[in-house]
Amino acid sequence: LTAKETDAVGNTTAASPAYAFTVSTQAPAAPVIGSVEDDAAPHTGALQKDAITNDNTPILKGTALPGGIVTVYDNGTAIGSVKADENGNWRFTPETALKDG
C-alpha cells in the first residue's frame, strides 16, 4: 500500500514508501493438547488419555499458532481461553472446577 496527501487547493504529494503485508484467509492448524496434568493428591502427574482423576482443575498444556488465542471446551461449552506464547506454547487451568464424571 502507498498513501498520497492532497491539500485544500488540489496539490498532491508523491506517494509514500510502500508498506507491504500479507492477508491470510486460511485458518491456522488446529491447536494441540499435548499433556494434561493432575496436581491433586494422592496421585499426581501426567494423565494418559481416558484416565480417571480426582483433579477438577487439571493443567492442560499444548501448542498452537504463536500469539493465537486457544479456547478450551468441555463437551462443546467454552470454559476459557489462553494466548499462546511467541513459541506457540500454551497452558490452561480451568478457573471453575470441572464437574465430576
Quote the pLDDT of residue 43: 85
Quote the pLDDT of residue 2: 98
What predicted TM-score, i.e. pTM, was given to this entire model? 0.76
3-state SS record for the chain: CCCCCECCCCCECCCCCCCCCCCCCCCCCCCEEEEEEECCCCCCEECCCCCCCCCCCCEEEEECCCCCEEEEEECCEEEEEEECCCCCEEEECCCCCCCCC
- Find the mean pLDDT for residues 15-39: 95
Quote the pLDDT of residue 101: 78
